[in-house]
Amino acid sequence: MSKFCCIAILRDIQPNDCEAIVKTLLEEGITKLEISLSNEEIGYQSIERILEKFKGQAEIGAGTVTTVEQISVLKKLGVDFIITPAYDDELVQKAKEVHLEIIPGVFTPQDVMRALNQGVTNLKLFPFDALPYQYIKSLKGPFPKANFFAVGGVTLSNVEDIYRAGFIGIAPGSDLVNRGSTVQDIELIKEKAKQYVEVIKRCMQEI
């Protein structure tokens, strides 16, 4: 992962639409993708399609991963990483067993400590918008090795504040790609992607 990056979340999007949307995101410079398994059937189909078309052009991950069985399937499919909605020792251990990068969801200091004790340092703070920005600074005190992605409530208007708070990245959902988007939404997604890339560049210039 780069110093500050964007992972686009794609949720409940049909494979044909997903392919067109991913192509647009890549053209605009967003190359890290999380395809959600909130709807397993659609999720798996879209992951297979995106891996077939864009493997090597993007970092393609799966999100809303909640079972060890899903991890086994995703490893066989060839995703680059997985993201979980909450912390679970069994899921972390399974991911490590099959050598698949995992970014687990965390919310409490206990979650963070358990993840770090498993050797996992890239974490998803979720839902980040339920917490004050000072929270991550407080977490970084006892856990300086922890790296946090902001997930849940990311918008164009708060990206710079997220960066300044100490997060290493963002994972916008509906503000970038709305749940169930189709090819009819391509122009809106293209414009939003441009804006996200621009604000991230501004953040990177502060480094």
Q: Is the pLDDT of residue 1 over 70?
A: no
How much is the pLDDT for 84? 98
Taking residues 123-140, what's their average pLDDT? 95
> Residue 144: helix, strand or coil by DSSP?
coil
- Percentage of the chain beyond pLDDT 90 is 97
Taking residues 148-173, what's their average pLDDT? 97
List, for residues 60-99, the tens digit of each pLDDT value: 999 999 999 999 999 999 999 999 999 999 999 999 999 9
How much is the pLDDT for 205? 87
Nearest to 190 by CA among 199, 203, 202, 177: 177
Rounded CA separation 8/28 (Å): 12
User: If you ran DSSP here, which 8-state letter would residue 37 be given?
Assistant: -
CB 28 within 8 A of CB 186: no
Which H or E run contains 123? strand 122-125
How much is the pLDDT for 3? 81
Q: Is the pLDDT of residue 26 over 50?
A: yes
Place of tokens 């060890």: 68
User: Which band of pLDDT confidence, cut at 50, 70 and 90, is reported for residue 158?
Assistant: very high
Rounded CA separation 198/21 (Å): 19
Q: Is the pLDDT of residue 46 over 60?
A: yes
How much is the pLDDT for 23? 98
How much is the pLDDT for 87? 98
How much is the pLDDT for 174? 97
How much is the pLDDT for 207? 57
User: Which band of pLDDT confidence, cut at 50, 70 and 90, is reported for residue 2?
Assistant: low
Phi, psi of 150 (to 5 degrees): -85, 125
CB 190 within 8 A of CB 28: yes
